[in-house]
Amino acid sequence: MEAQIKEQAMGFMEFIRERGIVGLAIGFVLGGSIQKVVAAFVTDIVNPIADFFLGSAGGFAKFSIGPFLVGDFLSATIDFLILAAIVYFIFKGLRLDNLEKKKEG
């Protein structure tokens, strides 16, 4: 009985490695979980610093270059870059890049 459970567990781990499920799960969970933290960081810390340097009293979201309102785009880009860096460093820090099995052929 114990050998059968061990064999099934090994089969399950092999399935996860072959299908790349770990990377998908990491991206999904971390993306959903960290998104709020990153948004708060950008809103509460990055935007006020940018406002200080840009001299904008209306907020970073209203920043414009000529007729183009680019503040929202820049905020979303900063959110994305911070989130991507966090996911990358967690992925590398936990050495999860070695977990997936390389496909042969």
Rounded percentage of the chain residues whose pLDDT exceeds 70 = 80
| Letter string b/e over residues 13-37, b meaning 16 or more CB atoms within 10 A of that residue's CB | eeeeeeeeeeeeebeeeeeeebeee
> What are the extents of the domains in the chain?
24-98
What's the whole-model pTM score? 0.48
Query: What tens-digit pLDDT sequence spans the chain (105 residues)?
Result: 778 888 888 887 777 777 677 777 777 777 777 777 777 887 788 777 777 776 655 566 677 788 888 877 877 787 788 777 877 887 777 776 666 555 565
